[in-house]
Structure 1
Amino acid sequence: MGQAQALTNKLGNSIYARLGLDGEQVRLVQAVADLAHEKFAPRAASFDEAAAFPAEDFDDLFAAGLNAAAVPAEYGGLGLGPYRGDVLTLWMITKEIAKADLSLARCWEGHANSLVLLDGMATEAQKSRWFKGVVQRGEKWVAWSGEPQSRAPGERSTFGTTVQAVEDGYIIDGTKAFCTSAGGADWALLLVNTAGPGGARHATGSHDGLLMLAGDLSDPSISIESEWWDPIGMRATVSHVVRFNRTYIPASNLVGKPGAYINDGWQTCFIPHYAASFLGAAEAAFEYAMTYIRKQAKESDPYIHQRVAEMAIDLETAHLWLRHVARMWETGDHAEARIAGSRARHLIEHLAEEVVQHAIRACGARSLNKPSPLERIFRDLAFYIRHDNDDHIAAMIGKSLLGQTHDQSFYKP
């Protein structure tokens, strides 16, 4: 066992004991940690360089029986999730994946979160059909909403879909952006609004017009426009523009009641899940820094001592916040969990950024030169934390404390 992996196991087992995970929970997390260290991390740079979906990593998760973590046990999965009595184990699995590759963690989140949605909103017939595909064939899921309605400077693309009810189903036409796992996923939960473009986040119409439709991504009317996706980080999420050319979705693929995604607060289940990925990236930066410091014989530098201490405190704080929020979900305090998840996400974003900056300062300029994994972590985290506007998150938290109307899902001002 190498020094870095020994450190990983020591820190991981120690923090998991303090978080209250039992032996079986730790075993699951450690199984993912071993895959992440042995297989996912060595592949991460090549996926990043090529901006390619990490298909082999999902194959490994399927082969190990770990891809169905959020599928209920009665359907052959591990039964993890916010409404299943154990969400912390799911978040720690995601954290371990993020330590190897933050892009992979984002694709994994999309898959796991989609399964949580199916568990909570799908009919029994839908669950039986779709969970079988995950458990027996390793099918991958994702949820797509992105339809920003204002152009960025210099951007020529426009995004948006329309959805039309027809006999026995719906017709979707138009484009979505930021479609994570495009070309890699088998199924997508498509959030579309009968009031017009905008999806879940950007639509201006009533929430009651928001539909969630399960789309089979092998449908030839669905195509990928890959030239749009060329970001600084999170490249292997392959979050391309996807075009729907009068795509037919049968009525039997409508998941849940119209408007339920927003009205029932489903987005709030996933906000702390994002934070778990931030934490994984930060922990990877810390472990790299610790290895670098020892290799460079910097252990006697008092400034290094301070940076190591700050990183360790930040990481433990982030873990404890996730434990705090998870306990609310697991004990049925869902109303408080929904707002606490945003508090955790707000804080952990800043803690993760701080850890990465401490790591860079402790290691120096060479840590930002490929093939250093810290170079990729720095780019990926900088991009991923922009998934939501942190100023708006903080403002939403403040409005909630003042008793004002606030948007817990997407933080609209």
Structure 2
Amino acid sequence: MDFEYSPAQREVYEIVGELGRTKFSARAAEYDRDASTPIENLRDLGEQGMLKLTIAKDRGGMGSGALGEDPLLYLIAVEQTARYCLGTAQCLHIHCHGAHYVDNVCTDAQRDVICSDVVENGALLNATGSEPGRTRRGLYTLTTEAVRTDGGYVLNGVKNYATLAAEASYNVIFAGQPDKDPVGGHVGVAVPKGTAGLKVVEGSWDPMGMRVATSPNIELKDCFVSDDYVLGAPGVYPNNRWQAKFHLSFAAQYLGAAEGIFDFLSDYLPKRGTASDPYTQLRAGEIRIGIESTRWMIYRAAWLWKQGDEVAAELYSMQAKHRAIENAVITMDKAAQIAGSSAFLNSMPMPRYFRDLRIHTLHENLDKTAKTVGAHCLGEEFDTTARL
């Protein structure tokens, strides 16, 4: 395992870092106030080629993603984006996963249309499985129905947490066939923008944190999607454990956001006059150590994806995600201790950092992740897609 960035990885690190420092930071407060999608940020990323990170090189992409030539490459972009705007990082994460999924499960003809649209025109994709009550029912027990008809499927139902729904050129939607079991009947489709029957519910996204990662509800009513936009065979998403291929990008977001808090402390504490305090130094050192230990778990997990054992990569990715969540929460606590209450005036960035990071870490089930790893260690059955 090489602990140095490759030239391509270093270039992504520098490009996205520069965008974050000069543009994303300046826009973050306004996007947060308005709970609006960071279109300018995504456009800037697109202009630098970052929207094609997880599309294979034979389609003009950069060959990253869990199944790509360089699994770490897109994680660096997500991490660096989260360092300056966690909501934008979530949008990039969602797009990258939608694009990677399409690129890997579609026919060549579909790739020619959808992947080429991303590469050539900066088209945005998402991927929405979530819907009200899914946590209780289970990951694949969906109430949104896909009914087979001549030439495609008709969709009816409600989805939530549909990041990028209003801006996506293709809403990747997962639904269930009512006459089949949840796994065998699991269907994925790419609904082109403007398709009749797909409605983005205005005003349905107004959370305390992660306001920039605009994720409204979607209503689907007699929404016909032709076979040209049906993504793979029924059951391909659960059977190929695609959910487990996304663990690391969540971890990269938590890591980047913790790094952003440390960046703030490094600038703020000397100005406050407390940098010489031994307890301030202690907490700052603990935060730094936590960030570095988390980073190398994530990077090792990315390396494992190239070694040919997907289950081992999935399990270690879960461990890295668990560590990233724990470290994010610890970072917030220790940072608050040494920054003090003045750092939490709404004119400062710290309230937004904390709201975003604490809400976002709740997106993943810390206990279920640890339970899954423990089951594997004890020789019991386990499911690397478990996260809700």
- Given the two structures, how large is their TM-score scaled by the length of structure 1? 0.89
Q: Which residue of 2 aligns with 1:269?
A: 245
Match of 1:73 among 42, 57, 63: 57
Q: CA deviation at 1:216?
A: 0.9
| Aligned equivalents of 2:105, 2:2: Cα separation in 1 | 34
Aligned residues with identical type, % of pairs: 27
The whole-number CA distance in structure 2 between the counterparts of 1:411 and 1:60 is 32
Sort the Cα spacing of 1:328 and 1:282 in 2 relative to 1 into closer, same or farther, 3 A.
Answer: same
8 Å Cα contact 2:12-2:76 kept in structure 1: no
Residue number among 291, 295, 299 corresponding to 1:315 in the alignment: 291
Which residue in the other structure is 1:54 paired with? Answer: 38
**Structure 1 partner of 2:155:** 172
User: Which whole-Å deviations, capped at 9, do the CAs of 1:42-90 have from their partners, x for residues lacking one?
Assistant: 1111111100011111111122222211111121121112222211121
Partner of 1:370: 346
* Structure-2 change in CA distance of 1:110 and 1:363 (3 Å): same
Query: Which consecutive segments of 4 or more residues in structure 1 shift more than 3 A?
Result: none
Distance of aligned partners of 1:195 and 1:410 in 2 relative to their CA distance in 1, 3 Å threshold: farther
What is the CA-CA distance between 1:150 and the residue it aligns to? 7.0
Give me the whole-angstrom Cα distance separating, in 2, the residues matched to 1:136 and 1:86: 21
TM-score using structure 2 length: 0.94
State the alpha-carbon separation in 2 of the partners of residues 187 and 220 from structure 1. 13
Partner of 2:111: 127
1:288-367 equivalent positions in 2, closer than 5 A: 288-367=264-343
User: Residue 282 of structure 1 is aligned with which of 255, 258, 283?
Assistant: 258
State the AA in 1 paired with 2:331: V
Q: Which residue of 2 aligns with 1:11?
A: none
Assess if the C-alpha contact under 8 Å between 1:286 and 1:356 holds in 2: no
Counterpart in the other structure of 1:25: 9
Instruction: Pick the aligned partner of 2:177 from 194, 200, 206.
Output: 194
1:211-259 deviations in Å (ceiling 9; x for gaps): 1111113224211213332211011111111111110100121112211
Equivalent residue, structure 1, for 2:139? none
Structure 1 equivalent of residue 22 of structure 2: 38
Supply the AA of the counterpart residue of 1:338: E
**2:77 is matched with which residue?**
93
Q: Give, in whole Å, the separation in 1 of the partners of 2:182 and 2:2.
A: 44
Structure 2: 5+ residue runs without aligned partners?
137-141
Code of the residue aligned with 1:292 in structure 2: it is Y
CA distance in 2, matches of 1:135, 1:329: 24
Distance 2:135 2:16 in 1: 40
CA RMSD of superposed structures (Å): 1.9
Distance verdict in 2 for CA 1:366–1:220, change over 3 Å: farther
